[in-house]
Structure 1
Amino acid sequence: MDDTVESVADKINALVAERWPGRAPGNAAIAREIRRETGLSISTGYLWMLRTGQRGNPTGDRLQALARFFGRPPAYFFDHEVTSADMELAACLRQSGVRMIAMRADGLSERSQRAILELVERARQIEKLDEVDD
Structure 2
Amino acid sequence: MADEPLGVASSLASKIEWLIQNRWPSGSRPPRNNVEVAAAISEAAGEELSSTTIWKLRTGRSDNPQLKTLKALSAFFGVPIGYFGDDEEADATADRVAASSLVGKSGLNREALRALVEMSDGGRQLVADFIISAARLERGRNTPTT
* TM-score normalised to structure 1 length: 0.62
Q: CA distance change for structure 1 residues 28 and 107 in 2, over 3 Å: closer, same or farther?
A: closer
Q: CA distance change for structure 1 residues 3 and 51 in 2, over 3 Å: closer, same or farther?
A: closer
In the alignment, residue 110 of structure 2 is paired with which amino acid?
A: M
Q: CA distance change for structure 1 residues 103 and 40 in 2, over 3 Å: closer, same or farther?
A: farther
CA distance in 2, matches of 1:106, 1:90: 15
In the alignment, residue 111 of structure 2 is paired with which amino acid?
A: I
CA distance in 2, matches of 1:105, 1:56: 40
**Which fold has the larger relative contact order, with Cα–Cα distance below 8 Å and residues 6 or more apart in sequence?**
1
CA distance in 2, matches of 1:37, 1:70: 10
Matches within 5 A, 1:1-12: 2-3=3-4, 5-12=9-16
Q: CA distance change for structure 1 residues 94 and 71 in 2, over 3 Å: closer, same or farther?
A: farther
* Contact 1:38–1:65 (8 Å) recurs in 2: yes
- Which ranges of 4 or more aligned residues in structure 1 deviate by more than 3 Å? 1-5, 102-111
Percentage identity across paired residues of the two chains: 32
User: Aligned Cα RMSD in Å?
Assistant: 3.8
Flag the structure with larger Rg.
Answer: 1
Please say if 1:67 is aligned against 2:68. no
The alignment of Structure 1 onto Structure 2 pairs a total of residues equal to 117
CA displacement at 1:52 relative to structure 2? 1.1
Please say if 1:47 is aligned against 2:54. yes
Structure 2 alignment gaps of length 5 or more:
131-137, 142-146
